[in-house]
Chain A
Amino acid sequence: MKYNWNWGIFWELSPDATGTYLATLFQGLRWTIATGLSAWLMALVLGSLIGTLRTVRNPTVVRLGDAYVELFRNMPILVQMFLWFFVVPELLPTGLGTWVKQLPNSSFWTAVFALGFFTSARVAEQVKAGIRAQPRGQTMAATALGMTTAQTYRHVLLPMAFRLILPPLTSEFMNVMKNSAVALTIGLMELTARARAMQEFSFQVFEAFTAATLLYLALNLAIVLFMRRLERFVAVPGFTAARDAVAAAH
């Protein structure tokens, strides 16, 4: 059993002539972050909206919200990406479909869309749980004070809900970054794809994957540290009990 290690490989030029292998890996990391962050923003906005709608009184709205979540939760992310990439443009009117297909960075936009919808369903689950975790007395108190439903959500329920679900949101944030690697199947040259390409050109498979692994670990660490700071920043003094209740429910 022999494997020829060559850690110097990172400083050799990659055949796509954009720079060293190390540089292309970092280029990949940039795409990973860009894709993950964009999809995360989309998921946060959509997920919060859908999650909130699933807790309102109107049963039709709740059912629509539930259907949305089931739709995006019950198909593998890979299949969803294929749907957005191969199927959706074909179903659009011809002109629009062609325009979409010829969009620059179309695999990037597809990945953001697919990951955004996929992750939004999971965020919606958390947001719903966060709202539900609050005692009914909170809503009653807000109503008794004369707040409208919208005001109750905006000023009472949601601010606490988001604090409660910060830990699961942190792992969803990490998930969206990791899941962006699936986009290599539709041609996005993100971090894993670059490592794979480096392996194909240089045959230094373990160096390439080790580097990618370290970069992912660093990315995760950065997210965890950021979210911890955020948690501390938004922490409500003297409030821990309800958080434990949510943690126990999971």
Chain B
Amino acid sequence: MLAHFDFDVIARTWQVLLFQGLVFTLQVTALSMLGGIVFGTLLAMMRLSSNMALSRLAAGYVNAMRSLPLVLVIFWFYFLMPYIGAWVTGASQPIRVGAFASALITFILFEACFYCEIMRAGIQSIPRGQANAGYALGFTYWQVMAQIVLPQAFRNMLPVLLTQTIVLFQDVSLVYIISLPDFVTLASKIAQRDGRLVEMYVFVALVYFVVCLTLSQVVKRLQTRLAVATH
């Protein structure tokens, strides 16, 4: 069966696949990670707030999002975004929202829920005395968070945050369902066009495997280093 394997189709297309498709995937991943961690941290602070309304609101949002398949959430935002855009801009017709922006907003809002749970655990892992020491020195809530709690929480949770980012990197492949030009979509288009499904999907799987495995090894090494540094 390997005799039928057509390496030529990969040789012809790998540059497009990697430099357009994979780069698109990586861009969406990186931006969603940044946005997701920022929004997720805010959600975590809300969840841990003594204000019951804020805390319930954040918990409700996070739990609802985490109960839904990402596929459904992608569809939701894909169709909802034009209406939200019209509402924000006051337009009378649903407006066109770029596919990239739509995907980005979806992933930020969705992944923030997972980053939120990680940051919540991170914040809770910092002893109460640390925050108290900050307050005793005259810090405000935001200063205590920015200077004392979050830097430590972030550091402790870095490996878990990165592991979640590997999941996010894999999740981005699902933009296939709305035909955004990511790595998988491009590969499947070429696969259909040239009738070379086996070669294309094996290639895609291999690239994902190599990238994710490398990243997870980096995370593992980081984890051991952090574990040593704290002792």
Contact = CB atoms under 8 A, between A and B. Distances in A.
A74 B213 contact: yes
A16 interface: no
B94 A1 contact: yes
Given A78-B176, A86-B198, A217-B67, A195 B72 contact: yes
B79 interface: yes
Nearest to B125: A248
A184 B71 contact: yes
A80 B191 CA distance: 16
Nearest to B209: A74
A48 B142 CA distance: 45
B128 to A, nearest CB: 16
A43 to B, nearest CB: 17
A44 B46 CA distance: 36
Interface in A52-106: 70-71, 73-80, 82-83, 86-87, 90-91
Contacts, number: 110
A196 B75 CA distance: 8
B75 A192 contact: yes
B174 A178 contact: no
A185 B173 CA distance: 12
B80 A206 contact: yes
Contacts of B201: 79, 82-83, 86-87
Interface residues of A, number: 40
A178 B91 CA distance: 35
B190 interface: no
A79 B204 contact: yes
B205 interface: yes
B177 interface: yes
Contacts of A196: 75
A3 interface: yes
B158 interface: no
B92 A1 contact: yes
Nearest to A79: B205
A212 interface: yes
A14 interface: no
A111 interface: no
B11 interface: no
A29 to B, nearest CB: 12
A179 interface: yes
B121 to A, nearest CB: 8
A127 to B, nearest CB: 18
A179 B72 contact: no
Given A87-B198, A90-B1, A180-B69, 5 more contacts: A70-B213, A75-B208, A78-B174, A195-B75, A206-B79
Closest 9 CB pairs of A and B: A181-B69, A74-B212, A76-B170, A1-B86, A220-B67, A178-B69, A181-B71, A76-B173, A86-B197
27 contacts: A1-B86, A1-B93, A73-B212, A73-B216, A74-B212, A74-B213, A75-B209, A76-B170, A76-B171, A76-B173, A76-B184, A78-B176, A79-B184, A82-B184, A82-B204, A87-B202, A178-B68, A182-B71, A184-B71, A195-B72, A199-B79, A209-B76, A212-B72, A213-B68, A213-B72, A217-B64, A217-B67
